Amino acid sequence: MTDAGEQARRLFEDMLEHGETVRAIQAARRLVTEAPGLRQWTFIRRAVERVSAERLGLRKIRVALLSSFSIEFIHDALIAQGFLNELEVEIYQAGFGQFRQEILDPASGLYASKPQVVVLALDGPRLFPFAYAGYLQHLSGGFDQLLEGAEREIEAWLGGFRTQSDATVLIHNFAPSPWRPWGVLDDRVGLGQGHLVASLNERLDRLSRAQRGVYVVDYAGLVSRVGSERWHDDRMDHYAQAPIAQSALPILACEYMKYLRALTGKTRKCVVLDLDNTLWGGVVGEVGAMGIELGPQYPGSAFMAFQRAVLDLSRRGILLALASKNNEGDVREAFARNPHMLLKPEHFAHMEIHWGPKSKSLEAIARKLNIGLEHMVFADDSPIECEQVRSACPVVTVIQLPKQPEQYVRALLEEGLFDGLEHSEEDGKRAELYQQRAQAEAMMAESGSLDEFLRNLETEVALVPVDGTSLARVAQLTQKTNQFTTTTRRYTEADVSRYASDPVWSTTAIRVLDRFGDNGIVGVMLARQDGAVLDVDSFLLSCRVIGRKVETVMLAHLCDQAKARAARRLRGRIIPTKKNEPVRDLYARHGFQRVTVDETSGEVWELDLEQQRVEYPQWLAVVTPTDGRKA
């Protein structure tokens, strides 16, 4: 191992020992970069397991691995990578090839382990030999029936599983065989083998889309990205039923981690970029707007490709921001004059262009956009700037861009830090929404009082029951909201869907419009009736609309709902977290009485509806489906 590797190891162990989780994660990341290798994952896993997960503040997530081959070899990488994401991954490993029995038997160890995520790592050659070793034998008879049979079989597994568990299912699709019996004539003699596997995958995609909480892991795509020959170890396939090469296992674990991050609210929301030698080549202050490397010729073409990838992130709903040491005039000129600039000033939610330290810029951006530093990614080519940010803002994920600009796109996307499991209409116009918010803030600064501000804002709040159209966004909000959330309970689409169709539950999505535009769905209330009590399970609001009395409207609406259900009391709970300071006084300032305080379940607050209610505030128009009119 290199000296840097040894050094990272020692630092990692030292930080672990002191319970400095974030610093230990930094050191572990450095270790796997400086001295990559199988044994590092084993080493990290073991070191982490020696310290209690509680002391490290890791969040536990139970993952069941079911497979048609030996997948046990992935455990070290999966647990170690979990640690890099502040997760304690607890694995239930089903016996090799036992996945059918485990799924079909309600008393199996699988269900006893109460998994939150189940990985169905199925491999084509073992499961559906007709598309692999048995291909030629079946060719003359056609594949329609076999494909249909395969689809029904998978459907039965998924369906059987769903009757027992609400866990999120990650199911592998199938990689095509690297060797075709017909060689170059594949697809000319009946249905080609390549096509056959593709049809199997299409059917799998269709099945997964039809079921909530089932996601296809694009295993075929991974194998093709890495290369079938590098991905597979034929020797171990035959000898130990372990077809995946050891060097490929961390890549597969990294793929699973994308889902685990999304399910635990760790999807990054914002990327903060440097400019010189990051978004373009050269230093604009020295070579000028037209002298920077950006355009159809190398290396300009590589920087353009990187800008395109960043722009795509913005289209997905990831916020972009700049942290650059430059003169603002030079930067403005580059954006205005260079014809190859794909990114425009309007794509950035905020810019920090000055000579101060980048950590200060990141903090300013976090404040301005009202998101946590832990949801930010910083990308810069300079090792010095990266180190400064790592040291001053350790929770920020730092991507130190490689030497060659053609490798930037990979560096940005490889870990899937921005990958979420839900996409909503709101995502596509996020940058625009933040600009509206900036305008609203400017107006607030000019307004004399809060009332005047609210009046000028012309806010309209629509409260509608959660339905198919809002499901994805509602689940996404429960997963992403950290500040104005009373209980920080995370729900999947499957969970929300269940509550929405259960009459005991009242589920409401809150949409906010104002004179600057439609903010989309920004709030959620999930409440459950328990006899005479309407119990608020979740109450959350996006930080974009905090401070505008929307929460008062929401509580007033809950009072109406409780009345309609003949409930006599409204009950709410505050479970304190590091992040939810802004919501702590929600119930207190709306006249609720504190009933109990408990260390694990938090504070319980109640409002006696026979004596009191929460009134709708002035200056906000309220729309509900029951009256269909504006109040």
Partner 1 sequence: MEEQVKRIMADVLDLDDGAIDENTGRDNVDAWDSMKHITLCLALEEEFKVSFEVQEIETITTYADVLDVLRQKL
Q: Binding residues for partner 1, per CB under 8 A?
A: 1, 37-39, 42-43, 46, 72-73, 76, 235-236, 239-240, 242, 246-247
Name the minimum Å distance from CB 37 to partner 1: 6
Nearer to partner 1, 72 or 518 (CB): 72
Name the minimum Å distance from CB 238 to partner 1: 8
Nearer to partner 1, 6 or 312 (CB): 6
Three-class secondary structure of residue 114 per DSSP: coil
For the packed helices 193-210 and 144-164, what is the interaxial angle rounded to 10 degrees? 30
Judging by beta carbons within 10 Å of its beta carbon (0-12, 13-18, 19+), is residue 336 exposed, middle or buried?
A: exposed
Nearer to partner 1, 93 or 407 (CB): 93
**Burial letters for 89-100: b for 16+ Cβ neighbours within 10 Å, e otherwise?**
bbbbbbebebbe
Q: In the structure encoding, which two tokens stand for residue 66, read together?
A: 């079911």
Name the minimum Å distance from CB 108 to partner 1: 22
Name the minimum Å distance from CB 22 to partner 1: 24
> What is the C-alpha separation between 518 and 428, in angstroms, rounded?
13
Nearer to partner 1, 39 or 594 (CB): 39
Task: Give the bridge partners for 539, in sequence order.
Answer: 525
Three-class secondary structure of residue 73 per DSSP: helix
> What is the C-alpha separation between 126 and 209, in angstroms, rounded?
24
Name the minimum Å distance from CB 19 to partner 1: 22
Nearer to partner 1, 121 or 379 (CB): 121
Name the minimum Å distance from CB 181 to partner 1: 26
Give all strands (DSSP E) within 18-163, no chain letters.
59-67, 87-93, 117-121
Name the minimum Å distance from CB 43 to partner 1: 5
Q: In the structure encoding, which two tokens stand for residue 341, read together?
A: 């600039």
Nearer to partner 1, 42 or 199 (CB): 42
What count of other Cβ atoms lies within 10 Å of the Cβ of residue 558? Answer: 25
Name the minimum Å distance from CB 46 to partner 1: 6
Name the minimum Å distance from CB 365 to partner 1: 40
Instruction: Show the 3-state SS of 348-388.
Output: EEEEEECCCCHHHHHHHHHHHHCCCHHHEEEEECCHHHHHH
Nearer to partner 1, 247 or 400 (CB): 247
Nearer to partner 1, 37 or 428 (CB): 37
C-alpha closest to that of 477 among 417, 544, 428, 523: 523
3 Cβ contact partners less than 8 Å away, ≥ 6 residues apart: none
Nearer to partner 1, 169 or 248 (CB): 248
> What is the C-alpha separation between 558 and 544, in angstroms, rounded?
22
